[in-house]
Amino acid sequence: MANSPGRLLPLVAALFCGAVLAQAATPSDHTVTSAAPSAGTSPHPKSGGLPITAKRGEPSSSKHPAPTPTAHPPATKPPASSTRASRAQPDDWNLAGHGKVLYLTFDDGPQHEWTPKVLQVLRKHNARATFFVLGIQVAQYPELVTAERAAGHTVGNHTYDHKTLTGLPDAKIRQEIAGGITSKCLRPPTGATNAKVAAAAAAYHQREVLWDVDTKDWEKPGAAHIEHAILKGARPGAIILMHDGGGNRAQTVAALDRALTKLTKLGFTYRALPC
Ligand code: ZN
């Protein structure tokens, strides 16, 4: 999956979101023109490069079954008419337009042990990030969501309890989305989405947000591996996927600290997505 071309995803989703959000027109798309500090990651395509795409294949743990190549529907290609230039997009989603900015994202929390540790590392590096939380976890640790927001981070909806939305009937899809936290962003569990999921997200005025870089931290490959994935994928505007819930995240915390130390020296800053 790591070798698959980026930007495979549900561009259809953005169409819905773009139409429904009906926010200010964006002056440009999510074009990345600068080289990343380290090579090896596919650049964003110049056209049709929406800010919300990514590779699929996310989480797992005992709670979140590991994705398999057949676990998700084929990537949805943008329809021929999906020229982004003609679409209204929120100005603040011109992610690559801010220079050497990374968008760190953490899924499956909040979790009482690891979320505070992630918050601590982010604070140490003066980094802002986005937490895609599960409604079921929020119900248990609402104070951690308050802490995330108080620290300047943003919070996105990762549904109520991490069901794969593409396998659900419409009413259940809406139920899963509605059961999650109120946000302008939705990250469907495992990144699995289709036109029905996109339509449901749009109905709740939530933009589907996936990722550009999957650190595979949920596989617990070792902190060095996760750190390498972050460093390799770092480029202006990149959305990086990590987890603060769903299992032991000691490797994620260690890797995050090391990677941010290096990336800051390279001139990167870290912003929260406008969720
Ligand atoms: Zn997840």
Among 27, 100, 55, 32, smallest CA distance to 213 is for: 55
CA angle at residue 148 from 128 to 58, to 5 degrees?
A: 75
Q: Give distance in angstroms: CA of 108 to centre of ligand 1.
A: 5
Q: Give distance in angstroms: CA of 76 to centre of ligand 1.
A: 20
Q: Which two tokens stand for residue 199?
A: 């339509």
Q: Give distance in angstroms: CA of 58 to centre of ligand 1.
A: 6
What dotted CATH number matches 97-270? 3.20.20.370
- Count of CB atoms within 10 A of residue 39's CB? 9
Q: Give distance in angstroms: CA of 27 to centre of ligand 1.
A: 32
The number of angstroms, rounded, from the C-alpha of 42 to the middle of its chain's C-alpha atoms is 17
Q: Give distance in angstroms: CA of 158 to centre of ligand 1.
A: 7
Q: Are 73 and 17 in contact, with CB atoms under 8 Å apart?
A: no
CA angle at residue 261 from 145 to 38, to 5 degrees?
A: 110
Q: What whole-number distance in Å separates Cα of residue 133 and Cα of residue 262?
A: 27
Q: Mind listing the pLDDT tens digit for each residue in 97-127?
A: 768 999 999 999 999 999 999 999 999 999 9
**Digits of tens for pLDDT over the chain (275 positions)?**
333 333 334 433 333 333 333 333 333 333 322 333 333 333 333 222 333 544 443 443 334 433 333 333 333 333 333 222 233 344 567 776 768 999 999 999 999 999 999 999 999 999 999 999 999 999 999 999 999 999 999 999 999 999 999 999 999 999 999 999 999 999 999 999 999 999 999 999 999 999 999 999 999 999 999 999 999 999 999 999 999 999 999 999 999 999 999 999 999 999 999 99
- Count of CB atoms within 10 A of residue 79's CB? 10
pTM, 2 dp: 0.71
Number of H helices, E strands in the chain: 8, 8
Q: What is the set of active-site residues? A: 107, 243
